[in-house]
């Protein structure tokens, strides 16, 4: 047998890995610019993205682009005004609860000169108040404001399924078939819409009846348009719940209050955000805030609904229905010196000055 015919086995060679084929994931430094500005309270992320597209935002003296990332060392300018970045600004999260009266618009500056929901609010130390959702001029009830744009964005985003509950007074005959249509869904001008729940308020009778209904989105005049699709008229509409936050009768119409730490932590966890401690306030600042709350002017039309006492809002995740509609439907009685004044009397009635609550 010829040994030459046998070839020695070739030594095993390690496969040379191609470095070019490797893809190393590098985490970009910093946070997205629109997210940072939203947290600082300058607006929602959607608004700030539009500012960046319009060239209104600069980073380190250069016009920013969408997707840009920044950290605490970067210099940010909006409309030529430099912004102060520090740990306090990055971590501040405050929330106000407001009972909106009829006749106010949800905008900062109204070209027609009408009162806005921002007119009554206190001025925040940093950033500005961002309204979480909107109500039209004829709708009353629960509004929330925050200095944290990321919190506002998550509460309004459809993916977080924040339901809105309304107390609505309907004029006209409402049948079970109509309620089933509204829960099944109807086609509106801007697409299909529906109520996820409709419940008749206890004790409702006659031509005007109260209902509680729930929607999962905040489209313009959606609740009114849904009822109008069934050939009935909404004569009164009030938002009584937004997600886990209920509005109760202790918070009088036209008044606001700030959320405490416990309920703010619950709201943050509801949308997947880590709780943040409220900024510390001096005794002088607390006294000033209390005076602002007491001196808040109240609408004349809502004066009959005002109660004295502490302003509190129940914060819960259950589905209890508040009884706001019951006393709102009562008519005020004629009272005061003007109702007993004799015709033709020329005597001047003395003016009484009311102390603020």
Distance of alpha carbon 257 from alpha carbon 142, whole angstroms: 12
* 136 is an active site residue: yes
Nearest to 313 by CA among 269, 267, 275, 263: 263
Backbone angles phi, psi at 287, to 5 degrees: -60, -40
For 335-338, the CB contacts below 8 A with 24+ separation are none
Nearest to 133 by CA among 52, 243, 268, 283: 243
From the candidates 136, 197, 287, 290, which is the catalytic residue? 136
Strand 95-100 vs strand 256-258: parallel, antiparallel, or unpaired? antiparallel
Distance of alpha carbon 19 from alpha carbon 105, whole angstroms: 61
DSSP assignment string, 29-64:
SSEEHHHHHHHTTS--HHHHHHHHHTT-EEETTEE-
Positions annotated as catalytic residues are 136
């Amino acid at each position: 047998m010829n040994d030459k015919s046998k070839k020695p086995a070739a030594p095993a060679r390690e496969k040379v890995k191609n470095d070019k084929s490797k893809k190393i994931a590098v985490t970009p430094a910093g946070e997205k610019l629109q997210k940072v500005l939203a947290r600082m309270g300058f607006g929602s992320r959607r608004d700030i993205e539009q500012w960046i597209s319009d060239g209104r935002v600069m980073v380190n003296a250069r016009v920013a682009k969408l997707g840009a990332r920044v950290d605490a060392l970067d210099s940010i300018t909006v409309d030529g005004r430099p912004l102060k970045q520090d740990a306090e600004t990055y971590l501040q999260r405050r929330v106000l609860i407001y009972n909106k009266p009829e006749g106010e618009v949800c905008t900062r500056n109204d070209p027609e000169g009408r009162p806005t929901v921002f007119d009554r609010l206190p001025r925040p130390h940093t950033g500005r108040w961002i309204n979480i959702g909107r109500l039209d001029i004829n709708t009353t009830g629960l509004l929330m404001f925050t200095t944290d744009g990321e919190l506002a964005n998550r509460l309004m985003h459809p993916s977080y399924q924040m339901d809105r509950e309304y107390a609505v007074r309907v004029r006209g005959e409402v049948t079970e078939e109509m309620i089933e249509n509204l829960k099944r869904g109807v086609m509106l001008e801007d697409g299909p819409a529906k109520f996820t729940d409709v419940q008749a308020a206890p004790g409702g009778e006659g031509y005007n009846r109260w209902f509680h209904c729930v929607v999962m989105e905040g489209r313009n005049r959606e609740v009114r348009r849904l009822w109008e699709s069934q050939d009935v008229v909404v004569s009164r509409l009030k938002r009584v719940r937004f997600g886990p936050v209920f509005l109760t009768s202790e918070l009088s119409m036209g008044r606001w209050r700030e959320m405490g730490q416990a309920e703010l932590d619950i709201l943050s966890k509801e949308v997947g955000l880590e709780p943040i401690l409220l900024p510390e306030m001096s005794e002088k600042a607390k006294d000033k805030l209390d005076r602002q709350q007491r001196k808040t002017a109240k609408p004349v039309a809502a004066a009959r609904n005002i109660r004295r006492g502490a302003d509190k809002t129940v914060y819960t995740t259950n589905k209890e229905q508040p009884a706001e509609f019951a006393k709102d439907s009562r008519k005020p009685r004629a009272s005061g010196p003007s109702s007993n004044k004799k015709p033709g009397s020329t005597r001047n009635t003395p003016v009484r000055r009311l102390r603020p609550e």
